[in-house]
Amino acid sequence: MDPLWAELINSDWSDHLGSGRREDRIGNDGWLATFLGRTSWWGRALPSAAERERLRTLRRLLRRMIDALLAVTPIAESDTAALNRTMAKAPVKRRLAREGEAWTVELTMARGTIDDVLGEVAGSFAAMLARGEGDRVKVCENPDCGWVMVDSSRNRSRRWCDAAECGNVMKVRRYRQRHRRTG
């Protein structure tokens, strides 16, 4: 499963088959309910139009930051400041829990508001950067897709968001292109 930040970025969906179809999944109630189910949202009514726009604003911010990482350029200080402001609005509760013989500290959001969701998504992105995993972030090599992914393979050789979908599409395209030239 994708981290929250990648899932939010990828909510700006493009048809990987090249039809040109696009969908802003933040406007899709079914997708949004599933996404919010992974966060601190408390199952109340779906976000308002204004709250959805705040999700889109965070999506644009995260995409700019990812684009900077992929271009191996510094992330703009203004973007870092915007991410920090987003995280600062989300109060966090800490809870000590036991997992087998080990103790962990669980972080949960305090209120279940849109600020909590935005903070949780922004926090998942910040944690990825803090762990030094920015070089594992890639964009699917299918030019019709553009999904952001985290390459967790040992040799960092992942090329597609989904080998069965985009990987297969690209292999078929290359095959057809080779056979057009020789046929």
Domains identified in the chain and CATH numbers? 4-88+114-182 (1.10.3300.10)
Query: Cβ distance 64 to 12 under 8 Å?
Result: no
> Angle at CA 17, nearest 5°, toward 128 and 37?
40
User: Pick from 28, 25, 13: which is nearest to 146 by CA?
Assistant: 13
Q: Which residue has the higher pLDDT, 21 or 35?
A: 35
Q: Which residue has the higher pLDDT, 133 or 159?
A: 133
User: Pick from 40, 129, 51, 30: which is nearest to 84 by CA?
Assistant: 129
The dihedral through the CA atoms of 16, 30, 38, 58 has a sign that is: positive
Question: pLDDT tens digit string along 34-51?
Answer: 999 998 787 678 999 999
pTM above 0.95, yes or no: no
pLDDT of 47 reads 95
Please give the average per-residue pLDDT across 79-88, as a whole number.
94
pLDDT at 91 over 80: no
Q: Which residue has the higher pLDDT, 59 or 169?
A: 59
pLDDT of 180 reads 78
pLDDT of 169 reads 78
pLDDT band at 183 (very low <50, low <70, confident <90, very high): low
Rounded distance, CA 155 to CA 136, Å?
10
pLDDT of 43 reads 67
Residue 130 exposed, middle or buried by CB count within 10 Å (0-12, 13-18, 19+): exposed
Rounded distance, CA 38 to CA 17, Å?
28
Rounded distance, CA 141 to CA 124, Å?
24
- What is the chain's length? 183
**Cα 1 vs. chain centroid, distance in angstroms?**
10
Percent of the chain predicted with pLDDT > 70: 98
Amino acid at 37: G
pLDDT at 132 over 70: yes
Rounded distance, CA 55 to CA 42, Å?
16
Q: Which of 31-45, 48-62, 159-173 has the lowest mean pLDDT?
A: 159-173
Cα torsion through 153, 154, 155, 157, rounded to 10: 0
Q: Which residue has the higher pLDDT, 43 or 79?
A: 79
